[in-house]
Amino acid sequence: MPVYAALLLEAARRAAKGIAADDVAWGIGNLRARYRRLGAEAAGELAPVLATLGTAQLAALEHKFAESNEKYAKEYLPADPGKRRRAQAGRAVERFEHFTGELTPDQRARIGRFVAAHEAHVALRFEDRQRRQRDALALLRAHRGAGDLAQGLAELFTRPELRRSGEFVREDRRWEDDFAQLVVDLDRTLTPQQRARVVRRLDGYAEDCAALAGTKGESA
């Protein structure tokens, strides 16, 4: 938690002075690294319990995955192209507005153009998510020893690229580059009120992390 608090405080500092493409790359890189590390640690801690799951429990987990995927596909990947684009754009706008508050029509339009240019990426990420779920279930069914299971699950988090297609890697890199440019473009259009809200939101998350870690005084 102290590490997350420090990262969020640094993000707030960068947001306050104006965001560059390097700042976005820094943020994505740190989030990716922390996510992978957290996933590997969780795999090690949970493996002894997961190794005891029986056939019925694994079937229930598989059913839960299927239900979640069906809901996601229905909401964000409907067959109708117009509905699909509107749903994905709405979700992206909602995520930005969580930090900035209400966006202007121009800002919303910028996000809409980004979403339209990366429709394939959403479908590829969904396929990747389903593949990871299948891989995790296969590991749970194949390994009865906690040690081997922990190692296999940790690799799913720390080295996901080993199982990804070349198409996914290319589209993901393009998405990341264009997302960085989108954030930079939006940053240039932020009102003083929007920027202040972004900084407050990041500062607030940093304080929450510091409080959870019991180091509020040190991180302030």
pLDDT tens for 21-71 read 999 999 999 888 888 888 899 999 999 999 999 999 999 999 999 999 999
Q: What's the whole-model pTM score? A: 0.82
Spell out the long-range contacts of 44-52 with Cβ–Cβ below 8 A and sequence spacing 24 or more: 44/150, 44/154, 46/153, 47/146, 47/147, 47/149, 47/150, 47/153, 48/146, 50/140, 50/146, 50/149, 50/153, 51/140, 51/143, 51/144, 51/145, 51/146, 51/149
Q: Are 195 and 15 in contact (CB under 8 A)?
A: yes
pLDDT tens for 146-175 read 888 999 999 988 888 888 888 999 999 999
3-state DSSP assignment of residue 65: helix
The domain spans of the chain are 2-219
